[in-house]
Amino acid sequence: MKLYETLAADIAGQIAQGVIRAGERIPSVRQTSQHHNLSVSTVIRAFLLLESQGLIESRPQSGYFVRRKPALPATPAADSVETPPAPAELARGGSIDSSELVLTTLRSINQGSVPLGSPYPDPSIFPWARLNQYANSLSRRVAQLGMTADLPPGNPELIRQIARRHLENGLAVDAGEIIVTTGATEALNLCLQAVAPPGSAIAVESPTYYAVLQAIERMRMHAVEIPTDPAHGIDLAALERAIVEQGVAACVVMPNFQNPLGFMMSDARKRAMVGLLVKHRVPVIENDVYHELYYGDVHPSCLKNYDSDGLVLHCNSFSKTLSPANRIGWALPGRYRAQVEKLKFLNTLNTPALPQLAIAEYLKNDGYDYHLRKVRKAYAQQASIMAAAVRRFFPAGTRVTAPVGGYVLWVNLPDGVLALELYARAQERGISVGAGNIFATGDAFQHCIRLNYSYPWTPEVEAAVRTLGLLTGELIPRATNCTPRKNAHL
């Protein structure tokens, strides 16, 4: 191809991908000449070619613009961008990529699916207006502070407010231990890096939150899945056997309102778990992002309450309770604090100062407890409604957990019904669900789904649950010859 043809093809590709949209102005002849190191005459020839193809149009004294309804030329298959697999194709394929399955689910939610498969809480319940007011009023101060305001361990006032919040929940912490992170996911990743090298065995609950499995895989570690009871939590005897027999280097658990099962470990079991890990000198990363979303009158304890050896690395965030968009989390890494702070600096350098300051101001001045009471009441009511609706609309043989906090419900489907098949059929009808396959490395939970009930109960949500029940019923006759499920979890 000649130079002008190559340039024209590049611009046509940008138009086809939506980088430059219909009605938008493309860079001028002079800019394009400078950016591509081409002569002006070459650029003009390329623009004339695009104009002849109907892709752009010239407007006097304004420049060239993408035509409103361009007749795009066919591009060779080798140059085309691979189209992501459709939800049904992805679910029915032989090999399941859990990351792709999660991403496909999130894309469908963005496109208007009923968000029963979403991992995120309903955004309408958060105090966006008040947080934005604080951010706007603080923006000038942040600009004056400069880049050093963002450096680890984080904003001093936010750290003070986090320490106060822990104290109010019965945990006296040293504010100097707190490291502010970009959400709890970064806190978990940093703590994993701090406690174990690549190749290590990491014990996790089974089922567990899929992001934990993805983090372990990304760091070239491997997960050791420990059976977990939906009422009592991780099997401590099985955990000890894994430590002794498989050389587990660390453990990652969610003792309060675990995602996806929704249970809360008793204080006695939390104390016993910490004692077991101290005995074997194995650190534990505690994901406690749902701590404030309890349904009872008393806040739960956490593993950190029973830690006197610095082996509990506590991770938390405001993303599930106050502001998912601001992505502010923190870690209490115990004896690993220095390593975690260093890794924070090396990995992401900083956490933006403005959202830290805005949340600190909200915690200091506004009714965080009032907001949380409202959220807890809503979630508790919606948990009961969702569980009752599943029992009503799903066929016999369906079983559900009884979450005591958080906003997710774990559903065991009737024998033989595959979650991925239900997932695919639901996606085709504009309904998202969390297929159980993504919560483990094997197929132990291929007959389970996770449902999000944080959104208000509306006729649309009720219709979606009813549809899921009908679809499940349709799949039962087709599953008569399937092998029995490997995990009867409830």
Higher pLDDT: 212 or 87? It is: 212
Domain that holds residue 52: 3-79
Claim to verify: residue 358 and residue 436 sit in the same structural domain = no
Boundary residue ending a domain (307, 337, 366) = 366
Phi, psi for 25 (deg, rounded to 5):
-80, 135
CATH number, domain with residue 245? 3.40.640.10
pLDDT tens figures, 73-88: 343 443 434 444 554 4
**For the chain, what is the domain count?**
3
Determine the angle formed by the axes of helices 419-428 and 98-110, rounding to 10 degrees. Answer: 30
Does the pLDDT of residue 98 top 50, yes or no? yes
Amino acid letter, residue 228: T
Claim to verify: residue 164 and residue 257 sit in the same structural domain = yes
Claim to verify: residue 248 and residue 361 sit in the same structural domain = yes
Boundary residue ending a domain (44, 61, 79) = 79
Burial classification of residue 412, based on how many CB atoms lie within 10 Å of its CB (0-12 exposed, 13-18 middle, 19 or more buried): buried
Residues in Cβ contact with 382 at an 8 Å cutoff, skipping those fewer than 6 apart: 407, 453, 454, 455, 456, 457
Mean pLDDT of 120-138: 92
CB 256 within 8 A of CB 300: yes
Mean pLDDT of 283-305: 96
Mean pLDDT of 378-392: 98
Mean pLDDT of 165-172: 95
CATH number, domain with residue 35? 1.10.10.10
Claim to verify: residue 172 and residue 291 sit in the same structural domain = yes
CA–CA distance, 359 with 181 (Å, rounded to integer): 13
CB 191 within 8 A of CB 200: no
The residues facing 82 across adjacent strands are none
Phi, psi for 304 (deg, rounded to 5):
-60, -30
Claim to verify: residue 31 and residue 168 sit in the same structural domain = no
Does the pLDDT of residue 68 top 60, yes or no? yes
CATH number, domain with residue 472? 3.90.1150.10
Residue 149: what pLDDT? 59
Amino acid letter, residue 76: P
- Which range has the worst mean pLDDT, 13-27, 189-203, 251-265, 378-392? 13-27
Claim to verify: residue 192 and residue 300 sit in the same structural domain = yes
Boundary residue ending a domain (366, 383, 416) = 366
Q: Is residue 469 part of a domain?
A: yes
Token pair 């947080």 in the structure block, residue:
131
- Of how many residues is the chain composed? 490
Does the pLDDT of residue 58 top 90, yes or no? no
Q: Is residue 129 part of a domain?
A: no
pLDDT tens figures, 213-236: 999 999 999 999 999 999 999 999
Determine the angle formed by the axes of helices 267-280 and 236-246, rounding to 10 degrees. Answer: 10
Q: Is residue 130 part of a domain?
A: no
Claim to verify: residue 285 and residue 175 sit in the same structural domain = yes
* % of the chain residues with pLDDT over 70: 90
Q: Is residue 485 part of a domain?
A: no
CB 313 within 8 A of CB 191: yes
CA–CA distance, 342 with 105 (Å, rounded to integer): 35
Q: Is residue 379 part of a domain?
A: yes
Record the pTM: 0.80
Does the pLDDT of residue 353 top 80, yes or no? yes
Torsion (CA) 456, 459, 461, 465 in degrees, nearest 10: 140
Residue 264: what pLDDT? 97
Torsion (CA) 226, 232, 236, 239 in degrees, nearest 10: 10
DSSP state letter for 207: S
Claim to verify: residue 288 and residue 374 sit in the same structural domain = no
Claim to verify: residue 210 and residue 283 sit in the same structural domain = yes
Q: Is residue 133 part of a domain?
A: no
Could you tell me the two tokens for 282? 């194995």
Mean pLDDT of 331-335: 98
CB 187 within 8 A of CB 180: no
CA–CA distance, 488 with 490 (Å, rounded to integer): 6
Claim to verify: residue 416 and residue 316 sit in the same structural domain = no
Residue 14: what pLDDT? 87
Claim to verify: residue 236 and residue 262 sit in the same structural domain = yes
Does the pLDDT of residue 189 top 90, yes or no? yes
Q: Is residue 34 part of a domain?
A: yes
The residues facing 250 across adjacent strands are 202
Q: Is residue 131 part of a domain?
A: no
Phi, psi for 174 (deg, rounded to 5):
-85, 120
CB 340 within 8 A of CB 190: yes
pLDDT tens figures, 425-444: 999 999 999 999 999 999 99
Torsion sign over Cα 378, 107, 119, 473: positive
Claim to verify: residue 164 and residue 304 sit in the same structural domain = yes
E-only strand ranges, 125-221: 179-181, 201-206
Smallest Cα–Cα separation from 168: which of 292, 350, 336? Answer: 292
Residue 76: what pLDDT? 40
Q: Is 70 helix (H, G, I), strand (E, B) or coil?
A: coil
Number of Cβ within a 10 Å radius of residue 50: 25
Does the pLDDT of residue 244 top 70, yes or no? yes
pLDDT tens figures, 258-281: 999 999 999 999 999 999 999 999
Mean pLDDT, the chain, whole residue set: 89
Residues in Cβ contact with 107 at an 8 Å cutoff, skipping those fewer than 6 apart: 84
pLDDT tens figures, 404-433: 999 999 999 999 999 999 999 999 999 999
CB 407 within 8 A of CB 454: yes
Does the pLDDT of residue 464 top 60, yes or no? yes
Mean pLDDT of 176-185: 96
* % of the chain residues with pLDDT over 90: 68
CA–CA distance, 154 with 393 (Å, rounded to integer): 48
